Amino acid sequence: MKPEATISDLEAARPQPPVAAADRGGAGAPPQAPARPTLAGKAAAPVLVKLAPPVSVRLAQLGWVLSLVTGAVAVVYLFIIRETQLPEMTEAIKAVDGTRAEETYSTAAEILYWTAFGILAVVLLVQVTCLVSFNNRRPRARWWQFGSVMVLGIALIGIRELVAVGERGLPLTRLLALQVGLALLALAFSVLPPALKWSARRHDVRAVSPGVGGADL
């Protein structure tokens, strides 16, 4: 005869509800979420800033602007004195060789005048473009500026001998000489060490760290 089951045995035989994995712990527990990365103490990306250029660059820019203004005045003056200069130029050409027809001398004077006018105008436009490139720190901008000054110097010699003749031609020669001098002075300022470093840097950068004042580079 089997012994009667006790209440304890009946409770032990009753099916138990499943225990949650989080309550059991151990290997079956889900992985913990990774910690959120901190934002403190990390170096921020560099920031482009607008800094004032060195004094040598400012002086170079001023010299180029004055040179361009002088060149523009010279071009306008050359156009104004055209009617008075053509007869003077014709006589100067005729003094070299007077065996040609009159129309030949007048045509040669016209060709020389418009050639000189075109050279001065083109050099002026090239120097404006070069100044913009210099301000934007473009590479080889100084070489283009140097080449334009050399062309202007050669043009000055030719214009002084063939175009700027007579009393009206003297102011033109002085204006062109002043333009060349200011351009050379500006070119000299632009090759000083601070100006060269400013151009080689290309961009002004400020390195910023959280909680720390940025340093301009």
Average pLDDT over residues 108-137: 94
**Over the chain, what is the mean pLDDT?**
80
pLDDT given at position 1: 47
Q: What's the Cα-to-Cα distance from 144 to each of 60, 61, 131, 193, rounded to whole Å?
A: 15, 15, 10, 19
Considering only CA atoms, give the Rg of the chain. 41
pLDDT given at position 212: 47
pLDDT given at position 77: 95
**Digit-coded pLDDT (tens) for 192-208:** 999 999 888 766 665 55
**Digit-coded pLDDT (tens) for 159-185:** 998 898 888 889 999 999 999 999 999
pLDDT band at 50, cuts 50/70/90?
low
Average pLDDT over residues 13-37: 57
